[in-house]
């Protein structure tokens, strides 16, 4: 990693690199914002640059880690003596571990061999891809044993050059006991140590903790930035990357998860449904297809699928709109279906109608999120889209 490998977040990178250049590093930060947008990536890179043996200015005058020194190598593997990376762990075998004052033993050492192995695997993945959400079964909390370990590390003198960092990933997972212990640590800042909390649920953190941190908001990512990163890192076609990005709400890790799902198939299904909406005497067929598609219930899983389908339909209609007003094809998301799109535009391409149809779909997505009956939403939408697209033809 280097700053330029972190997707988007230019404002935050600016704040951090300026702090490094001016040697004004706070003793505690809270990086907050939605899941999967790179908060841990920023924290890890910050710690790496501050510990690099030969940091240098890049072409834009920004301080970068060299990426090749021993320190950079250790930091890149999250195995740096100066960088403690804290995250939720499962409860230890001995249930008393939270109470026994177990100073001096790493909380990890109390776990089973299988658990330790799993944690090491997860850390390896995290090191290779800092956008990875560490997932360990039964690990919903950051426990006091982890915070005690932090305290112990901070209190020991370090022979390492550079600056010590404690990164607490998804810090809102600290249980009450851990949070109270951590607050004491924050109240006694050490000039040698910087603590970074990352969280996508800032409201869950104690206000007494937040008030002692410099809070830095991290923004959701732009679709285009996500799509380009997906192409670069997963070597997938741009149109597939754009579909995933469009559905990911600005979260890179969510977009990565979506790659495993067959979005193209989902899109084929919804575009077929659109075709059906526009055929004569569509109602009976439509109801039948709808049930096959949505299922009769409205389980959350079906709703997620349905929402994705409507968003895909929206990208399709927006593409048609774009084609109806301009010949340019470079912003078209569903570029692999360009011939179908052109035919559709040839038949229904009154741009005002396409725009209205897009808004009807947006409203349907809103209603779906408000938990209105899914079949009702789709039937209403079908009638609405049909009425809009056939008017003034």
Q: Which residues bind Zn ion (CB under 5 A)?
A: 52, 65-66, 69, 72
DSSP 21-75: HTT---SEEEEE-STTSSHHHHHHHHHHHHH-SS-EE-TTS-EE--S-SHHHHHH
User: Looking at beta carbons only, is 69 or 350 nearer to Zn ion?
Assistant: 69
Minimum gap (Å) between residue 50 Cβ and Zn ion: 11
> Shortest distance, CB of residue 49 to Zn ion, whole angstroms?
8
CA angle 191, 196, 198 (to 5 degrees): 170
Among candidate residues 201, 11, 41, the one with its CA nearest the CA of residue 209: 201
Residues contacting residue 154 through CB under 8 Å, at least 6 positions apart = 164, 166, 185, 190, 193
Least distance CB 56 / Zn ion (angstroms): 9
In sequence order, the 6+-apart residues with CB closer than 8 A to the CB of 84 are: 149, 150, 153, 164, 165, 166, 167
Q: How far is the CB of 368 from Zn ion (least distance, A)?
A: 49
Least distance (Å) between residue 67 CB and Zn ion: 6
Alpha carbons 208 and 354: distance in angstroms, whole number: 51
Rank residues 55 and 295 by Cβ distance to Zn ion and give the closer one: 55
How many Å apart are CA 236 and CA 233, to the nearest integer?
8
Give the CA distances from residue 81 to residues 153, 184, 390, in Å, rounded to whole numbers and listed in that order. Answer: 10, 23, 67
Please say which residue, 47 or 209, places its beta carbon nearer to Zn ion: 47
Contacts of 235 (CB under 8 A, 6+ apart): none
Residue with smaller CB distance to Zn ion, 49 or 147: 49
For Zn ion, give the closer residue by CB, 50 or 277.
Answer: 50
Distance CA 2, CA 112 (A): 35
Closer residue to Zn ion (CB): 52 or 243 = 52
- Minimum CB separation from Zn ion for residue 192, in Å? 19
Measured CA distances, 337 to 231, 310, 334, 352 (Å):
19, 17, 6, 22
Query: In Å, how far from its chain's centre is CA 162?
Result: 30
CB of 32 to Zn ion, least distance (A): 28
């Amino acid at each position: 990693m280097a700053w330029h490998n972190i997707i988007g977040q230019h404002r935050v990178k600016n704040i951090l690199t300026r702090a490094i250049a001016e040697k004004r590093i706070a003793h505690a930060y809270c990086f907050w914002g939605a899941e999967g947008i790179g908060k841990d990536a920023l924290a890890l890179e910050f710690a790496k640059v501050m510990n690099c043996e030969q940091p240098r200015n890049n072409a834009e005058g920004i301080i970068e880690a060299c990426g090749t020194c021993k320190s950079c190598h250790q930091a890149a593997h999250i195995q740096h003596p100066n960088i403690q990376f804290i995250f939720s762990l499962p409860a230890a075998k001995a249930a008393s571990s939270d109470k026994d004052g177990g100073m001096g033993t790493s909380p990890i050492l109390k776990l089973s061999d299988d658990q330790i192995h799993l944690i090491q695997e997860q850390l390896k993945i995290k090191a290779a891809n800092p956008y990875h959400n560490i997932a360990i079964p039964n690990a919903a909390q950051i426990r006091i044993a982890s915070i005690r370990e932090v305290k112990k590390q901070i209190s020991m003198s370090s022979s390492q050059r550079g600056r010590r960092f404690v990164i607490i990933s998804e810090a809102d997972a600290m249980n009450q006991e851990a949070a109270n212990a951590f607050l004491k640590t924050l109240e006694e800042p050490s000039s040698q140590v910087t603590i970074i909390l990352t969280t996508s649920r800032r409201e869950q953190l104690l206000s007494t903790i937040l008030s002692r941190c410099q809070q830095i908001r991290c923004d959701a990512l732009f679709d285009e930035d996500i799509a380009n990163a997906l192409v670069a890192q997963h070597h997938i076609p741009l149109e597939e990357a754009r579909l995933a990005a469009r559905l990911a709400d600005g979260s890179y890790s969510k977009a990565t998860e979506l790659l495993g799902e067959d979005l193209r198939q989902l899109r084929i299904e919804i575009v077929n449904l659109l075709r059906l909406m526009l055929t004569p005497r569509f109602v009976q067929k439509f109801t039948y297809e709808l049930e096959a598609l949505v299922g009769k219930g409205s389980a959350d899983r079906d709703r997620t699928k349905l929402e994705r389908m409507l968003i895909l339909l929206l990208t399709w209609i927006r593409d048609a709109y774009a084609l109806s007003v301009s010949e340019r094809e470079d912003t078209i998301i569903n570029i692999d279906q360009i011939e179908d799109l052109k035919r559709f535009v040839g038949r229904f391409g009154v741009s005002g109608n396409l725009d209205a149809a897009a808004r009807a779909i947006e409203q349907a997505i809103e209603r779906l999120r408000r938990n209105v009956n899914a079949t009702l939403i789709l039937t209403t939408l079908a009638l609405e889209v049909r009425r809009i697209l056939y008017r003034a033809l």
